Amino acid sequence: MARCKLYPVNFPLIPMTNLHFPLLFLLTLFLFAGCSELPEQDMPQTRSYAIRLKPGEDLKKSIQKFVDDNQIEAGWIASCAGSLTDYHIRFANVPEGSKASGHFEIVSLSGTLSTNGSHIHVSVSDNTGKTIGGHLMDECLVYTTAEIVIQSASDLQFTRENDGTTEWKELQVKQKGEDVRDSD
């Protein structure tokens, strides 16, 4: 089955006449007609989800529950707007997290999501604008709301495995249905 890929082409500047427009239109139609051979079900799909967490919900646990309930194997956080009453953040190479209570704006939430393990970072700011960020831990509690957009790729699978480069289980990206074996 032929796959169709379109690439931008630079044309030299040619004075356009009334004759050029119909020819350009026909050429465009023929180009797209050749792409119609690819059935929609064979195309990788990106799906978007919009969720809202309510006051008192645990940010990390709620996101992971949503991922597990929806069987998201290769997802990511596209955006988040919200606030917390408590944060629990771990910094790089520090085993204990940092905790605080108060009122904090979520200024950034990003990461990879999977039923096989997620990795999320958060940044929050206090009422003076001081910002702190790191690895999202349990016990980050929603204050007013957390409005989150999550996206996923149907053709990928994210796993977390020890690959020998660090002491942590790191992200491995696989094509769904692909039999990936270690080369060691």
pLDDT in tens, 61-103: 999 999 999 999 999 999 999 999 999 999 988 888 899 999 9
The domain locations on the chain are 46-175
69, two tokens = 């309930």
For 4-15, the pLDDT digits (tens) are: 555 554 545 555
For residue 159, is pLDDT > 50? yes
Q: How far apart are CA 152 and CA 149, in angstroms?
A: 10
CA angle 63, 69, 73 (to 5 degrees): 80
Q: What is the mean pLDDT of the chain?
A: 85
Fold of 46-175: 60s Ribosomal Protein L30; Chain: A; (3.30.1330)
Beta strands 141-153; 131-136: pairing state = unpaired
- Find the distance separating the first CA and the last CA of the chain, reported in whole Å: 34
The pLDDT tens digits for 107-138 are 999 999 999 999 999 999 999 999 999 999 99
Q: What is the CA radius of gyration of the chain?
A: 23
Over range 141-149, report the average pLDDT. Answer: 99
Residue 149 or 37, more confident: 149
Over residues 20-39, the mean pLDDT reads 58
Cα 133 from Cα 13, distance rounded (Å) = 50
CA 108/CA 59 separation, integer angstroms: 13
Q: Comparing 3 with 70, which gets the higher pLDDT?
A: 70
pTM metric for this prediction: 0.74
Burial 36-61 (b: 16+ CB within 10 A, else e): eeeeeeeeeeeeeeeeebeeebbbbe
Residue 104's pLDDT is 99
Q: What per-residue confidence (pLDDT) applies to 22? A: 62
